[in-house]
Amino acid sequence: MSVSRATGPGRARATAATPPLLAATVVRELVGEIVGDRIGGRARADLTLLVNICAGELGRVLCARAPVSAAALARIENVAARWAQLDLPVDLLQRAVHAGIGTAFQQLAPTLAWSTVRTVRGNGLVLIDIVRTMSTAVSRGYVREIRALAGEQRAVVQTVTARLLAGNVAGASTSGDIEIADGYRVLAVALGQHPDEQDHRLDARVVARRKLRRVQADLATAGPGVLTQLSVDGGTLLLPLDETTGDPDDLVARLTRAAAAPVTVAMADADRDRIPQAVELAHELLDLAVRLGRGAGLYRFEDLACEYQLGRPGTANEKIRSVLAPLQTEPELERMLGEFLAAGGRVATAQRLGVPVGVLRRRLARITELTGLDPARATDLWYLRSSVIARAIHRTAHGGGAAQVLGSGAAQVYGSGAAHMHGGGAARIHGDDPDSELDAAV
């Protein structure tokens, strides 16, 4: 770099020429220090260009006391965008900016006036401003390109996911560079409310969107090929079934930590040609878990097989629900039965209800008198429990609450306190046909 002494205090006339040898030396030292020889010729050329731009602008700004030119900033942003496209590290660009400015300043410093505190301060502020401006340009160009690439990838993922959910495997295979797996683990997800969503001082919609972004960020690290279709309330995940498929319980635990809210998940595995049926099944299982208040966590088909069958519409469902029909004239008995089933014994039930055991015994005897079934007999208890579950499922599916059937205490085990979280049934999401052939997906 050639410079001449300035005529005024603190000024320097500097040309914007940086010797090619100097720039090449800076880049060689920089690359050798950080990445060794694992960088291509195009990347080295970009680093050399960046060093030259920074050195040239430093001389011009110190000479004219003018801001960094828009043309120089645009060139820096273009270099950063190219690195984002090539998935190269942005920190190397930032180091190149600092190295270029630092090396050029060492060459230029002897020509500057340092006679007063004012000139020292002025030169220092100019140097700081140049570093800040150019570093910001690198970050701006890199982030802008990353966001554009992420948007394109997100659109591709959404297209592939939608086509797989619709059963269009051929269309999904041609939608982008995402490899379609032979089989998928389908996860139906319900995201509960974050505590801050109940805080009236905060915007619940903003809190919910932040919760969703945290979950999506965690899913981005779950492995390649994970497909998602999520909203702030939940949705559907498709995980490729291969050797990289992790433990679903671990994934649910991670999502719960990321959401900082209850996460309820139901899963079903299927070949890629049977994904729509598996999605239907998974969401029905999720609906059951939520309606019956089973609590957050992961549910497989075997966890809810009995409840799934009890909830199937038809003659058997009507018959099992009719077991407790005689209690409709005395609804407090039905709620007390729900508490009894949840507590698991007379003493615990009496304590929960706050009544003497003798009163509870008379009420159970009244249930036996009306239904012909004795809660003290294992066979009769199975029918009573099945009827309670079937009626709770039926009640919540038709706009009622399971707590109306089960009682507030039993709702902790069977109730529908969280039923509003997922909506009124899988049919609202995946169609209204209750007789869909779902068993093949299991």
CATH at residue 230: 3.30.70.270
- Structural domain harbouring 217: 181-295
Q: Is residue 433 part of a domain?
A: no
- Find the angle CA(183)-CA(275)-CA(173) to the nearest 5 degrees: 70
Q: Is residue 405 part of a domain?
A: yes
Is 389 within 8 Å of 310 (Cβ atoms)?
A: yes
Residues 277 and 325 grouped into a single domain: no
φ, ψ at 355 (rounded to 5°): -130, 160
Confidence band of 362 (pLDDT split at 50, 70, 90): very high
- The SS3 call for residue 229 is strand
The residue from 261, 295, 329 where one domain ends is 295
How confident is the prediction for the chain on average, in pLDDT? 79
Q: Is residue 438 part of a domain?
A: no
- Look up residue 268 and give its DSSP letter: E
Confidence band of 24 (pLDDT split at 50, 70, 90): low
- The SS3 call for residue 200 is coil
Residues 144 and 259 grouped into a single domain: no
Residues 8 and 95 grouped into a single domain: yes
Distance set, CA 436 to CA 189, 312, 317, 327, 432 (Å)? 21, 11, 17, 33, 9
What pLDDT is stored for residue 7 in this prediction? 40
Tell me: the pLDDT tens digits for 202-258? 999 999 999 999 999 899 888 778 899 999 999 999 999 987 778 899 999 999 999
Residues 287 and 316 grouped into a single domain: no
Residues 262 and 359 grouped into a single domain: no
In this predicted structure, the answer to whether residue 14 has a pLDDT above a threshold of 80 is: no
Domain count, the chain: 3
Is 311 within 8 Å of 396 (Cβ atoms)?
A: no
Q: Write the CATH number for 37.
A: 1.10.490
The set of residues, in sequence order, having a beta carbon less than 8 Å from that of 341 and lying 6+ positions away, is 381, 384, 385, 388, 406, 410, 413, 414
Residues 22 and 122 grouped into a single domain: yes
Strands (DSSP E) contained in 46-118 are: none
What pLDDT is stored for residue 124 in this prediction? 79
In this predicted structure, the answer to whether residue 326 has a pLDDT above a threshold of 70 is: yes
The residue from 249, 268, 295 where one domain ends is 295
Is 260 within 8 Å of 211 (Cβ atoms)?
A: yes
Q: Is residue 165 part of a domain?
A: no
Is 244 within 8 Å of 153 (Cβ atoms)?
A: no
Q: Is residue 143 part of a domain?
A: yes
Q: Is residue 268 part of a domain?
A: yes
Q: Write the CATH number for 342.
A: 1.10.10.2840
Rounded distance between C-alpha atoms, residue 275 and residue 295, angstroms: 26
Q: What is the DSSP string of 399-420?
A: T--HHHHH-TTGGGTT--TTHH
In a 13 Å sphere around the CA of 437, the CA atoms on its Cβ side amount to 2
> Which token pair is 419?
């039923």
Residues 343 and 283 grouped into a single domain: no
Q: Is residue 191 part of a domain?
A: yes
Is 310 within 8 Å of 395 (Cβ atoms)?
A: no
Residues 141 and 263 grouped into a single domain: no
Q: Which of 150, 17, 141 is nearest to 79 (CA)?
A: 141
Residues 228 and 334 grouped into a single domain: no
What pLDDT is stored for residue 413 in this prediction? 38
Residues 138 and 15 grouped into a single domain: yes
Rounded distance between C-alpha atoms, residue 115 and residue 309, angstroms: 90
User: How do strand 183-191 and strand 234-240 relate by DSSP bridges?
Assistant: antiparallel
What pLDDT is stored for residue 419 in this prediction? 38
In this predicted structure, the answer to whether residue 4 has a pLDDT above a threshold of 60 is: no
The set of residues, in sequence order, having a beta carbon less than 8 Å from that of 71 and lying 6+ positions away, is none
Residues 317 and 290 grouped into a single domain: no
Q: Is residue 276 part of a domain?
A: yes
Tell me: the pLDDT tens digits for 37-90? 455 677 778 888 888 888 888 888 877 778 888 999 999 999 999 988 888 888
End-to-end CA distance of the chain: 73
Tell me: the pLDDT tens digits for 396-430? 776 655 444 444 444 443 333 333 334 433 333 33
Mean pLDDT over 159-174 rounds to 86
Distance set, CA 40 to CA 314, 413, 417 (Å)? 68, 61, 59
The residue from 264, 295, 326 where one domain ends is 295
Residues 32 and 90 grouped into a single domain: yes
